[in-house]
Structure 1
Amino acid sequence: MTAQSSISKTTRRLWKSAQLYIGFHTDPLGNVRNQPKVWPPKNANAKIHSDQMVQEAFLEVRAEDRSTTRDVQIKLQPDKIVLRRDSDDIGWEGIVVEDDSVAIRVNGTWVRIKVDGAITRETDDDTTYIEADGSILKMTEYVEAMMSGDGVELSRRTPDNIAAITEDGVVARSKDR
């Protein structure tokens, strides 16, 4: 059995149709509409406008089975491509593809991967950075913690104190008020 035939047997159909649309958010005089005027372009060809608040091109991808998969909207913008779908327990809510990064939103958490391999994980309560050199920085309302990429240095800073492990030893101090 070839790899292609084994993949084909395990793949299930998720999507059934796709339609390109143009949404006009302003009227010909430049006034903002309450609801955008939306229609499919002729020949399925749409210009990507420089201001998506005036006009936007997007693709609606319909799910085969809406009980297991949500429809996806793909917004085509001059500086990025945005995939979005309604939030639920199925999986991702949004994906933003830019020239230098890809960001994914899952269950309210954003994960961004930059071109150099750095990763950022951001929630309402905390942010974690994994830098390209492997160093890690965790920031919350109460603490900031860091570990160097080689694991040699560690530090923790709170409103009241700072502690660090370095090649030179251990430092722990209360902050002067």
Structure 2
Amino acid sequence: MAYENGLTHFDKSGQAIMVDVSEKKETSRTAIASGRIRVNRAVYEAIEQGTAKKGDVLGTARIAGIMAAKNTSAVIPLCHPLPIAKCSVDFTMLPEECAVEARATVKVTGQTGVEMEALHSVSVALLTIYDMCKALDKGMEIEFIHLDKKTGGKSGIYLRPESAEKERATQQTE
């Protein structure tokens, strides 16, 4: 239930609460989030060629992102623990920007959405890249973490305008 301020995580007196979802129907829900990390050329090449001293950067970041999605409620206090049905983390190398984009897709059948799980997944995947490459570049920048799409639940479909344009362009080239 949203209160006068429109926020659901506070009661009438302004105290933080975990939203009661017990009366909500279970529905299939999906969230997709993305973000990227800018790195220097040496780090970019080490990631791309798989020569980083700490090992498989993207493989490790993928596992970290999946683990993060599964454990979001342990990190973000008012998130419900959810039985994640699927989580995938994919990476796109962006040579022009000297960056790596991470994209997480999280699915659940439940009474609340998985937006926070997708955002947490992307964040931790990018932080893992930073951790594994910081010996080569302490000036890496994590940026543009955002929700691209969500489906399911009472509020229905959300598609970020920039993501909608990308999705249309991809469909036209297929």
- Tell me the TM-score normalized by structure 1: 0.24
Greater CA radius of gyration, 1 or 2?
1
Choose between structure 1 and 2 for higher RCO, CA contacts under 8 A separated by at least 6 residues.
2
Higher helix share: 2
Higher strand share: 1
- Tell me the TM-score normalized by structure 2: 0.24
